Structure 1
């Protein structure tokens, strides 16, 4: 029997009117034609919009707003469409109150649909007083456009650079530094990288800023090691940009989308900057993982620490410990902290940061957590609390089972992805660890990302 091919009800370049019924996890509005969803940038639930269809697939289409018949009360009118098109700030057409509500709803949907929790409470999202100019790190592509060196950001799902000077969500000093650096690079005829032709030299500029110290690190990501007149370039940058304490070169010879290369050269100053987080001082290198939003990271970590209800008798394991920020933040409240992390450089940084802050009741080990957990079990190390803060892919089932084998009283889960968070909570629940409630924290205002914290108890 021949299966009938289902017709797509719209075609590319069609114009049609839609009522926006929902929003995707990445902040696009959703309207439907005969149950066929069309995802529309810069559209909010409740709006009636005329849309031009940009692309169709068997299951959904993408569209662009041409005009509004009805606008949402949550809409912000004074927006820069480039910030939406590049994905830098895809929600900045929404009022901040509605952004926080949207993120709470995304977490609620995930824990119900993916996690299977019908009655798990999700609190209101903890937001920022000033929800822009918060990023302490920028990774800016460098390309040639109309024979000029340009800095900007790629259009979403493409490698077409849109030149930008005000990135809206980066700390002001970073945007000002980029504006100062650009003419210096042009004056010395630094060649931007051309992805298609595999020519040119400068691929990206990465800038890190200490939120409290104001120290700046500038990293030039280059195709080759040699940079013509780099000494003179560095001198001019240091003269033009306040608070530069480090200029680094990252050599990236491979043809891929990874930002940093594997080889680093110190061109000026130190190979790190310093910053503070919850009262501790941290050395941050070019490749260190350090939370992008320092103020909200303090709120996120304090939420995790408070929810754990720590005592002086507690033994804590900080899984995915990175450079030690969570473990060192709570070390003075507990008996001992054990940290584990796959990245050797991060563990070296964690040990250094413990020493800088005079914290001695910590031990950091390199390795896969499941393997290190087994080692600690044999050494009769008994944690009362395990804290996990994994990347977006969440936890592996083998990690979850290994953490349960450690038999802690509590597992504090800090997440940056509601979908994998909900999936993992479901597995923990089956193994006897139940979440109390979920607290979303807005680490990335104007974007669709949201962090969560919950505590699982036996």
Structure 2
């Protein structure tokens, strides 16, 4: 959202905002929400819009209403469960944010919650309705809080999961590590094919979502731990717990160097590295393969963000020999 009241996307390598009345990239139902919310905010704030709001995020659980075979809703404009997250501009003083949140709840079909962050004065944070969505991937349900990360391309998310599972080939007797596990996207599918999953995530809301997901999917062999991967791995090693295989899905910055070192020490037979940045993926693979401890077997790109240069990758590394 621009300081002059523009509502749209930021321009490449800039803080300027391109004003958009509609967005052809969005699912039709979410574009409908966007258009209605856009008009509401313009009417509500008038000339002060750019002074009051910094950003608006629309999150939709498209998988919850999609056809499993195509990923597209049978009715293109069928309402999609949606969260609206508004970030107030620092220093702004919104007179009645609760009223705005209540009005936005009814502005379009499918809106299940409205959250206004960083509201000045006595409010701080205002929300009405739910603070989370429930989405579906390959028949599994996931709770996703407003502060938790989740993939935005429902069709390719399924592909990403399938490629990771095919690469790692978990066995029924194995204990699996899911590092940077988020709301439990990979943990949920790993748990159905192995003895136990140890999921490690530092974002508190995502850990809570992962634990809620265990109940949603009736799974009792996932342990969701809150903390940094390097710290938890060191604790597991100290307790002499074993990890047979590992999957890591770090943010763009890649894995923490101490996490890579701890992974080498734990020595799982295979590591599946899911990456959203080829440069940090290459750096971390070089570290894991240093000293001849692991070797890279495969790397499969997955186009999660069509019409952009961003790419997801699923890389498989296997342990060389039986060193410890």
1:142–1:205 Cα contact (<8 Å) kept: no
Residue 229 of structure 1, CA deviation: 4.8
Which residue number in structure 1 is paired with residue 75 of structure 2?
none
2:273–2:314 Cα contact (<8 Å) kept: yes
Aligned in 2, Cα 1:225/1:280: closer, same or farther, shift over 3 Å? farther
Which residue number in structure 2 is paired with residue 204 of structure 1?
55
Which residue number in structure 2 is paired with residue 170 of structure 1?
26
Q: Deviations over 1:359-407 (max 9, x none)?
A: 1101111222222112112323211101011111112332211101101
Which residue number in structure 2 is paired with residue 315 of structure 1?
175
1:335–1:361 Cα contact (<8 Å) kept: yes
Two-structure CA RMSD over aligned residues (Å): 2.0
Which residue number in structure 1 is paired with residue 294 of structure 2?
433
Q: C-alpha separation between the residues in 1 aligned to 2:257 and 2:187?
A: 23
Which residue number in structure 2 is paired with residue 152 of structure 1?
8
Q: Which runs of 5+ in 2 are unaligned?
A: 65-79, 320-324
Q: Deviations over 1:85-144 (max 9, x none)?
A: xxxxxxxxxxxxxxxxxxxxxxxxxxxxxxxxxxxxxxxxxxxxxxxxxxxxxxxx2542
Aligned in 2, Cα 1:233/1:374: closer, same or farther, shift over 3 Å? closer
Which residue number in structure 2 is paired with residue 455 of structure 1?
316
Q: Deviations over 1:2-32 (max 9, x none)?
A: xxxxxxxxxxxxxxxxxxxxxxxxxxxxxxx
Instruction: State which of 21, 31, 49 in structure 2 corresponds to 1:192.
Output: 49
Higher RCO (C-alpha 8 Å, min separation 6): 1
Residue 444 of structure 1, CA deviation: 0.4
Instruction: State which of 56, 62, 84 in structure 2 corresponds to 1:218.
Output: 84
Aligned in 2, Cα 1:265/1:302: closer, same or farther, shift over 3 Å? same
Runs of 4+ in 1 over 6 A off after TM superposition: none
**TM-score when normalising by structure 2:** 0.86
Q: Pairwise mapping of residues 50-89 of structure 1 onto structure 2 (< 5 A)?
A: none
Which residue number in structure 1 is paired with residue 163 of structure 2?
303
Which residue number in structure 1 is paired with residue 70 of structure 2?
none
* Bigger Rg over Cα: 1
Q: C-alpha separation between the residues in 2 aligned to 1:290 and 1:236?
A: 27
For this pair of structures, how many residues does the alignment match?
298
Q: Which runs of 5+ in 1 are unaligned?
A: 1-140, 194-199, 254-262
Aligned in 2, Cα 1:142/1:358: closer, same or farther, shift over 3 Å? farther
**TM-score when normalising by structure 1:** 0.62
> Which protein has the bigger helix share?
2
Q: C-alpha separation between the residues in 1 aligned to 2:105 and 2:226?
A: 37
Instruction: State which of 228, 236, 240 in structure 2 corresponds to 1:368.
Output: 228
Q: C-alpha separation between the residues in 2 aligned to 1:233 and 1:227?
A: 10
